[in-house]
Chains A and B, each alone.
Chain A
């Protein structure tokens, strides 16, 4: 069974204080790992897809990396507008289009 565990559950940061979110996964043949951002009361918004160990992708203050067992989302010099819940999901090769999601990390950036 595919499993995704995100840590920490919640993260409080001061503006400018860089940090990393962790996504550990077990999957029988990874097709892709996805990161989403979700604001309260809204649907998740796509951020990145990573396909193979060693791959990295960046978008503004966010950088996602992937190893064979986990992915990290690094937030560099965060701003209050980076406050959101960040969701990680995996897609297994044998699972068609299905995504298995982790529980998310709630990030609060204080000015």
Chain B
């Protein structure tokens, strides 16, 4: 079945560490996105990519970095510069304009 796979499901980070969240899709979608969701809040856009080797900052990109070397993959690195990284991270993809997103199942990141 086609879909988006996020891993790991749960991730714990120590203070000062960088961690990388994985997002892989086999839907042949061109565009991919990373959103952050905090309790009781809506989704906020971190980064997005419309084609391979190109990506743009979203509304809350500070402390995060991404790469898009392959169409299928869009990993997100949460750096030590992100002061409040504990959240639920969602990856999504879409084919073209006028289409909604297909979401992955999310990664819950906790700072310990």
Contacts and interface: CB of A to CB of B under 8 A. Distances in A.
Interface of A: 4, 6, 9, 31-32, 34, 36, 41-46, 49, 51, 87, 89, 91, 96-99, 101-104
A98 B56 CA distance: 11
A97 B102 contact: no
Of A31, A32, A34, A43, most buried by chain B (CB within 10 Å of CB) is A43
Interface stretch (B14-22, B68-76, B93-101): B93-101
B86 to A, nearest CB: 15
B67 interface: no
B64 interface: no
Contacts of A89: 43
A43 B42 contact: no
A7 B35 CA distance: 22
Contacts, number: 67
B62 to A, nearest CB: 18
> Interface SS of chain B: helix, strand, loop or mixed?
strand
Interface string B39-82: 01111110010100000001000000000000000000000000
Contacts of B33: 97-98
Contacts of A91: 98
Given A96-B50, A97-B48, A42 B106 contact: yes
